[in-house]
Amino acid sequence: MPGPRAHQDEGAEPCDPDLTRMLRELPDPVVVIDATGDITWGNRTAERLFGRTLHDTLGVSGLDFVHPEDLHFVVLSLDSIQRKEVGAPIEIRLRTPFGWRLVELVGSPIPWFGNGCVLLSLRDLTERRRFELAYDQDARFRAVVQNAAVLTMLVAPDGTVMSCSGALTRMLGHDPELVEGKPLTYLVDSRDRPELLTALEQAARGAESATPVTVTVHLTHFGKPLSVPFELAIVNLVDDPTVGGFIVSGHDVADRKRLEEELSFQAFHDSLTGLGNRALFLNRLDHALERSARTGEQIAALFLDMDGLKDANDRLGHSAGDTLLQSMAGVLVGSIRKSDTAARLGGDEFAVIVEDFAHPGEVFALAERILDECRRPMVIGTEAVSATVSIGFSFSKPGISVDELMSNADRAMYTAKDRGKDRYEQFEEWMQSASEPV
């Protein structure tokens, strides 16, 4: 390997051969870069570190070996070196045939070698840092991780669990020694495994981003036939020589999921009857009409109005009215199929969506069942109360909207009221121009 060349300016002295030999045999890698960052010289240890001869390296930019996340830091450091005798040591990651290595780099300007040239001395810290992390050099930090309430795991690039914190046992009952060496999917409910794999793939693609990839999956509980929802945050440290994998942290979100489900239920359900509310009903009806447009199958919308609720409220009080409303909800739930939807729209108004019927007669039969059940008297206090219902319904047709379908069913219900209540009517076109009762 040729030694460092002397600057060609007049008066520059050639390098001492013994000094050149000593530089070549130093146990730490040493390289020289010019003002543009290209490598112009390196010793034998540098050749071993980079896995290539000096001849193959000359003219190659030294910045090409720097990890993308560390590149800006290195450029700033090299710029500041030109104004110092010796630069401050920095830790960076370099690409080698053996993967990313953590090195300490110290630079010194050597203008005698060439304008803007810098001598770089490197020391490989990878094994030492791994030793520090593995043994008692970092015992306090390891104790914190092991006893934290958050589950922490080191996962290899191929998805294998390399190590996990004590929270795995405390929270999910698994023995870490039996989990380590298995794929992370081993801990995940089979239904959620595709989502986890997608998250790991996304994290693998985001090696240059410090933003964690989050995913909510159900983790199995050892010895119990249940799984627990966990939000996992995946940080890609595959390129960090001291880690070489994904840091996966997770916390139990069962309480949060329950709260979200409760809030969602409250947002779309009537608190008194437990039926869906107007918002849920209109959303379901909109989707039902979309399916009907695709399949060509009809749906029916029923609009129901209780006949005697106001009288019961006036005579017996609002608690009696609430009892009748709850009774009406029970009638609907007991009369419809699982594929149908019943809702309380507000006040004494209810509605039903009927799908997947083979013949319109099934809708007529449903209306009859509801009428029959509502005619059964209820004992409230000391009085027998019968709260009948008036029903109007309309069938869908191509291009009909949610508002139009419900308006048609509403007109049919008013016709049932006009014709004596406690009956049903199907929408007909002449009802559209008929006046509605006040």
User: What distance in Å separates the CA atoms of residue 175 and residue 164, rounded to the nearest whole number?
Assistant: 10
- DSSP of 340-403: SEEEEEETTEEEEEE-S-SSTHHHHHHHHHHHHHHTS-EEETTEEE---EEEEEEE--TT--HH
Angstrom distances, CA of residue 20 to CA of 14, 80, 191, 308, 363: 10, 27, 64, 107, 98
Which ranges of 269-308 does DSSP label H, i.e. alpha helix? 278-295
User: What distance in Å separates the CA atoms of residue 376 and residue 385, rounded to the nearest whole number?
Assistant: 9
- Show the beta-strand stretches assigned E in 83-158: 90-96, 99-109, 118-124, 151-155
Catalytic residue among 240, 348, 410, 422: 348
Number of other CB atoms surrounding residue 241 within 10 Å: 22
Is residue 348 annotated as a catalytic residue, yes or no? Answer: yes
List the end-to-end C-alpha distance of the chain, in Å, as a whole number.
104
User: What distance in Å separates the CA atoms of residue 134 and residue 139, rounded to the nearest whole number?
Assistant: 9
User: What distance in Å separates the CA atoms of residue 352 and residue 336, rounded to the nearest whole number?
Assistant: 8
The helix (run of H) or strand (run of E) holding residue 407 is helix 402-418
User: What type of residue is 53?
Assistant: T
Angstrom distances, CA of residue 365 to CA of 9, 336, 346, 374, 417: 107, 11, 25, 14, 19
User: What type of residue is 289?
Assistant: L
Would residue 181 be called left, alpha or beta, if left means φ above 0 and alpha means ψ between -120 and 50 degrees? left
The vertex-110 CA angle with 106 and 116, nearest 5°, equals 95
User: What distance in Å separates the CA atoms of residue 93 and residue 58, rounded to the nearest whole number?
Assistant: 21
Number of other CB atoms surrounding residue 416 within 10 Å: 25
* Catalytically annotated residues: 348
